[in-house]
Structure 1
Amino acid sequence: MSCGAAVLKVPTTASSAAGAADAAVPDYQRQPEYAAAGGPVSGQGAAMGERSIPGEGSTASQDYSPAQPSAAGAAGVRKPASAFTGIPLSDYVRDGAAALALIMSLFMAWSYGSDGTSKSATRVDVVLITLVSLLSLGLSYVWRAGVFGPATGYRRIQDLKLLANAPYVLMVLVYTALSLTTADRFDPGAVAALGPAVAFGLAGALLAAQPRRAEIAPGAVDESRNRRWIHVTLGVAALAAVVALVQIIRYWAAYSGSGSSGWGIVATLMALASPAVLLIIAVRVHQRSDGWRRAGVALALGSGFLSLLALFEDLTLLQLSVTAFVPGFSLLFWMAFGAAVSAPSVARLTEASQVASTDTRNTLQPLLFLAAGLSAVLALGSAVTVITVAVGGYSGGLVPQVIALFFGLLLTAGAILTLRLTGKDPRSAYIMPSGYAGLLVVLGLVLLIVWVVQDEDFYLGPVIMLLTFVVPAALLAALWLPAASREQFRRLPAAAGSEASGFSFAGAPAQAPAEPQRPVTEAEAGSPADKGDRASEETAPVDRGTNPAQSAPAAAAVVVDPDVLTEAANPGTPLARLQELAANHPLARPAVAANPSTYPALLAWLSELGDPAVDQALRQRG
């Protein structure tokens, strides 16, 4: 007897029990992966033996044996998709960054004490806990391979990741407490200061603990779980604030009568400024601001670059360590903060407030606000130092501080002026921030050269480095990296009432706008089979109103830019830009509907418009 469809209709007792067990588990927990903006992708159930019944179009659990194929069954068996299908590249990058940070931390100094520098690789507790965090990176891949069985859902994997990396966080808290309480002792177990391994290791552990984009359920199913990472973000900022406060208290308790109150004020100001930046970003992210989340990610990437520079012993402007008696602008917890604020769970919570990349004012507002704040800190710290040097009668150090004071005031005013002028006209929204970024780089480099030549103190060094490298890079990246933003600038006129400037990012002069063409009517459009291949043609929908005489001139006057259609049909166009095109360019809606990158919510909105061209494009999607 051949293995036909009749055999597949009668499942065995074991397979029926397995199917009942699977049915008891909600689909969103049983699926091994979720896309960032969609539903479940074919997953573990298919990989474990779900097959299509020939001739009926349904599925049934069965004891499938690859060794007994049949001609009738092979025709209806659908090849199961890989359990790793649909994982975005960012998830792999996040895993790689976590592994790299954890491994690098093993070769760095963990702490400094009376017995010298303690490397991470020489401490058994640090090595073992770091290995546990490294092994937790493989949980998602082992789960997708079906090792844990179909009853294990993505939520359990999220919990396992948190449990595996919790020991690292606890270890950092313990050593931080030891550093703040035993820094003045000379016992063998005393910790005088924390080293750079804490910064890199904590960032890697937080990256390893967070769920990936492909492991987050769509919609608000996991909102309570996603809020965990906003709380983690607030926790890291609060930890930095507590450390700074303890440093300030211990400093003034030890040196209040030493006659160095001026330098103590500068150190206190710098120590408060560092956690203040993190707390401002964390509070705004807690209020679901996507712009501030992106600003936090940008500062975190920049702090990672500065942390690598701080590893060079000759670079005295940056110190990636925490000492109980030496307050200052510390970057020790900045990378960990960035790891938490960049979590996909946080992005899912703030995506509702995401603005289009072409909205330059709202995109750059958080970065310009931070630039103004850091510049004000530079000016205030320099002013206190100038007064201290002048009153104390010190022989040197006055000229560099005066230069820093002048530059700080200039950069603060420049940030405020740039923020005001970005809303004046579209061209100013691009020209002014770019010019301000260039001003930051030039003045910052001048300050760095003066600081190195004059061998100035390190209190203002981190602020100068942030203003010179990190803030300008973040401004320029937010302004010019998105393709939609560059395209919008290319179309802007050179001045009010003039033609386009002709500038093109491709390196050649931009072509003049084409002459308006007569809209194509339905009679000239051809057969319905050709409509799917005309995403880039200039077509105008026919008005179905009751007065054709009024609709004809209006339709003839509407002409769509071919570049808009090309952008609407491009799968690489950002989702926010697709939404903007669908809302502001009715003739581009069929191309948006046919775009494979268009997200489900926008497709549902397009389907409710009743536009025949849009409906045709939606039908062709399948």
Structure 2
Amino acid sequence: MTDDATPDAPRSPFAGAATREVVRDVVAALALLVALPMPWDLTHRGSDRIEVVLATVLTLLVLAVPYLRRAGLGAPSWDALTTPRGRTIGCVPYLLVALAYLVLDAVRPDAGEGQVGAGVVLGLAGATLALAPTWRPTLPVVAALVGLGALATPVMALATGDAWPAVVVGALNAVLVIGVLWLTAASYLRGDLVAGVVLLAVGAAVSVELVLFAGGEESPWFESVHGQRLGLLLLPVVAACGARRVLDDLAAVADDPQDVRAARWVSVAVRCLDLVMLVAAFVALVAMVRLASGSFGVSLVLRLIVGVLMVVVALVARRALVRDPRSGHTTAVGAACVLVVLGLVIVVARAGRGWEANVEELLVTFALPGVALGALLVPASVRELVASEPEAPDEPDEPAEVEETPTGALAQVDQPWTVSAPYEQTSPQQTSPQQTPYATAAPMDATQRIEPVRDASWGAVPGGRSGGDSTQVLPPVADVPGSPWSAAQALDPTTPLADLARIVQESPHLRPHVASNPSTYPALLDWLGALGDPAVDAALRARR
């Protein structure tokens, strides 16, 4: 008799469940439970409010039912809660309760500042993870609402006649929140998977900070539309809205070539350094405003000095990585460690005030440098990229003239995956490479002379010959209608390395421009050189 035929064989509650779904449900349940003892407003914690307790129990029940049914427990009628509709019905009450606290903060100007506590944020993020929304506009709508809330703080300060430092700090906070959302959520919505990864990392980091520091009896963290700040504590909610889509996109690119994966992780570190510069500049500017208003203290002076130093260190590390990930790896790792040390100066200077800390200070001290270090040190693809020896350059050949070929004759390369939009993923092509043509640019007139491609920031294309000789140039390329990339992006040295790898796959007509981009990394140049495309080969020869 087989095991399948045994009537009393034990059944696993995790049978048939995807690992990332199990992890998502566990994190959601932990967030909901931790939100109960955390402060929801100035006078109440979640466990003090009956509506919060009941909504939490209902949401936890919805999370547990699928696993109970797989284990053979519960009644068959419970299966209704395992459907997407049943899960939505179970999570919506919690979402409504949490949103009610946010609305009450906005409509009660006389209740004092600090009405949005950590419990609201963690509970709202947990319920969003449990719901796992598939509605495409969820992420942009939530990110826009958080940005509007941040913009409302300086407006409220002006309307109530607050002193100028409060108005300026509120405006700086709005710039910070919108900047973080632009570099993460907005960039991901434009098709940048790296920005989605950083969004999840920032949301997770702020959540950990809330759990560890925001629920103390003496100095809990609050934000309010009627205070000087709103938005940073809500970043976990934004991350929860995009978590499912980002994880699906990551699973779709898990089999990418090693050099593409390495470039993606390097881009994650670069994006974290961008955020370090943004947050550190905010810390320094807030300290400057408070010093200018007459407040003086060692903590403010240190925050001003350390903030400026962190901007400089992050800028040096970013430029080193963008210039050459292999040679700049050591510089970036060392700079990330320096950022941690500099941030600790601020944290230690505030130690005499208990555990009180602002979320941006812990972000710039531990979270963002930590994510950058993880992206540069943990992935095997990045370690192998750094360990590989740079190839010796070949002897320069005499530049050959570029053959005039129809601009529509574009080579097709096997493309196992593409992510054309953050919420849309195309399946592998079933036809042969020659059977799947790309969209073509406008045909070139036979009598048209091939002119140099020039850019105000670049000057002439390298590799030309002066005097009366002909010049080795790239042919002009018209942007293909519907193409996700432009010639300017392919030529821009500041374009992220991961984007360059996507350009050559998604816009083959721009490969010569990527080949001439001084920031293109060696592995991608080797790949381009193996295509046998005359225009690409000419651009590669022009680099030498």
Q: How many residues align?
A: 387
1:424 and 2:354 aligned = no
Change over 3 Å in CA distance of 1:416–1:456 after alignment to 2:
farther
1:348-397 CA distance string (max 9 Å, x none): 246667774422532322212212211222233233333333xxxx5x33
1:194 alignment partner in structure 2: 116
Structure 1 residue 126: deviation in Å?
Answer: 1.3
Equivalent residue runs for 1:129-144 within 5 Å? 129-141=55-67, 144=70
Q: Find the partner of 1:96 among 26, 32, 36.
A: 26
Query: Who is 2:210 aligned against?
Result: 307
TM-score normalized by structure 2?
A: 0.62
Return the alpha-carbon distance in structure 2 between the equivalents of residues 81 and 104 of structure 1: 30
> Do structure 1's residue 168 and structure 2's residue 94 form an aligned pair?
yes
Cα distance in 2 between the residues matched to 1:185 and 1:312: 20
1:479 aligns with 2:359: no
Distance 1:236 1:463 in 2: 21
Checking the alignment, whether the CA contact within 8 Å between 2:115 and 2:224 is kept in structure 1 is yes
Query: Which whole-Å CA distance do the structure 2 matches of 1:384 and 1:123 have between them?
Result: 39
2:67 is matched by which residue type in structure 1? Y
**Equivalent position amino acid for 1:489 in 2:** V
Residues 604-615 of structure 1: pairs in structure 2 closer than 5 A: none
Mapped contact 2:98–2:124 kept (Cα < 8 A): yes
Question: For residues 264 and 297 of structure 1, do their structure 2 counterparts lie closer, same or farther at Cα, with a shift above 3 Å needed?
Answer: same
> Residues 379, 290 of structure 1: CA spacing in aligned structure 2 closer, same or farther, 3 A cutoff?
same
Correspondence for 2:47: 121
Rate the CA distance shift 1:195–1:462 in 2: closer, same or farther, 3 A: closer
Q: What does the per-residue CA deviation read over 1:25-79, in whole Å, with 9 as the maximum and x for residues that have no partner?
A: xxxxxxxxxxxxxxxxxxxxxx9x9xxxxxxxxxxxxxxx989xxxxxxxxxxx9
One-letter amino acid of the structure 1 residue matched with residue 41 of structure 2: S
**1:124 CA displacement:** 1.9
Structure 1 residue runs of 5 or longer lacking an equivalent are 1-46, 50-64, 68-78, 212-224, 498-575, 584-622
Contact 1:367 1:474 in 2 (8 A): yes
Q: Does the CA contact (< 8 Å) of 1:236 and 1:333 recur in 2? A: no
Q: Does 2:134 correspond to 1:244?
A: no
Contact 1:263 1:388 in 2 (8 A): no
Pick the aligned partner of 2:126 from 204, 218, 221: 204
Q: Which amino acid aligns with 1:432?
A: T
Q: Secondary structure of the residue that 1:328 maps to in structure 2?
A: coil
Shift of 1:103: 1.5
Higher mean C-alpha deviation, range 368-377 or range 324-333: 324-333
CA offset at residue 475 of structure 1? 0.6
Deviation at 1:94, TM superposition (A): 2.0
Q: CA 1:173–1:130 in structure 2 vs 1: closer, same or farther (change >3 Å)?
A: same
Contact 2:31 2:122 in 1 (8 A): yes
Cα distance in structure 2, aligned partners of 1:143 and 1:276: 44
Shift of 1:261: 0.8
Cα gap change, 1:352 to 1:82, in 2 (>3 Å): closer
Change (3 A) 1:425 1:283: closer
Q: 1:417 to 1:336 in 2, by over 3 A?
A: same
- The unaligned stretches of length 5 or more in structure 2 are 394-497, 506-544
What amino acid is the match of 2:240? A
Do the aligned partners of 1:180 and 1:247 also contact (CA within 8 Å) in 2?
no
| Residue number among 198, 222, 227 corresponding to 1:321 in the alignment | 222
Pair 1:255-2:161 in alignment: yes
Q: 1:484 to 1:170 in 2, by over 3 A?
A: same
Distance 1:314 1:131, change over 3 A: closer
The one-letter amino acid paired with 1:193 is: Q
Q: Choose 296-305 or 246-255, whichever is displaced more.
A: 246-255
Aligned-pair distance for 1:80? 13
Q: Displacement of 1:484 after TM fit?
A: 3.1
- Cα distance in 1 for partners of 2:253, 2:287 equals 38
| Secondary structure, aligned partner of 2:160 | helix
Contact 1:285–1:350 at 8 Å: present in 2 too? no
Give, in whole Å, the separation in 2 of the partners of 1:300 and 1:93: 16
Structure-2 separation of matches of 1:84 and 1:351: 20
How many angstroms apart in 2 are the aligned matches of 1:329 and 1:442? 28
Structure 1 letter corresponding to 2:153: Q
Contact kept, 8 Å, 1:234 with 1:279, in 2: the verdict is no
Residue 375 of structure 1 pairs with residue 280 of structure 2: yes
- Measure the CA separation in 2 of the matches of 1:295 and 1:192: 28
SS for the counterpart of 1:333 is: helix
The residue type paired with residue 416 of structure 1 is L
Specify the code of the residue in structure 1 equivalent to 2:192.
S
- Choose from 320, 325, 340 the match for 1:441: 340
Taking the aligned partners of 1:457 and 1:184, their CA distance within structure 2 comes to 28
Deviations 1:529-578 (A, max 9, x none): xxxxxxxxxxxxxxxxxxxxxxxxxxxxxxxxxxxxxxxxxxxxxxx9xx
Q: CA RMSD, aligned part only?
A: 4.0
Contact 1:232 1:340 in 2 (8 A): yes
Q: Give how far 1:333 is off.
A: 1.3
Paired residue for 1:284, among 170, 176, 187? 187
Structure 1 counterpart SS, 2:216: coil
Q: Normalised by the size of structure 1, how large is the TM-score? A: 0.54
2:13–2:68 CA contact under 8 A, matched in 1: no
2:196 is the counterpart of 1:293:
yes
C-alpha change, 1:351 and 1:85, in structure 2 (3 Å) is closer
Secondary structure of 1:110's partner? coil
Cα deviation, residue 285, structure 1? 1.7
Is this contact kept in 2: 1:300–1:334, CA < 8 A? yes
Q: Go from structure 1 to structure 2 and tell me whether the alpha carbon gap of 1:446 and 1:284 turns closer, same or farther (over 3 Å shift).
A: same
Q: Secondary structure at the match of 2:221?
A: coil
Structure with the greater alpha carbon radius of gyration: 1
Letter in 1 for 2:246: V
Q: How far off its partner does 1:288 sit?
A: 2.7
Q: Is the 8 A contact 1:320 1:331 kept in 2?
A: no
125-134 vs 158-167, which moves further: 158-167
| Alpha-carbon distance, 1:149 to partner | 8.2
Q: Show the counterpart of 1:348.
A: 248
Measure, in 1, the Cα distance between the counterparts of 2:215 and 2:36.
17
Give secondary structure in 2 for the equivalent of 1:375.
helix
The answer as to whether partners of 1:140 and 1:157 remain within 8 angstroms in 2 is no
- Matched residue type, 1:121: S
1:466 aligns with 2:367: no
Provide the rounded CA distance (Å) in 1 between the counterparts of 2:46 and 2:28.
17
> What SS does structure 2 have at the residue aligned with 1:265?
helix
What is the distance in 2 between the residues matched to 1:400 and 1:195?
Answer: 25
Please tell me the residue identity of whatever aligns with 1:358: A
Distance 1:205 1:463, change over 3 A: same
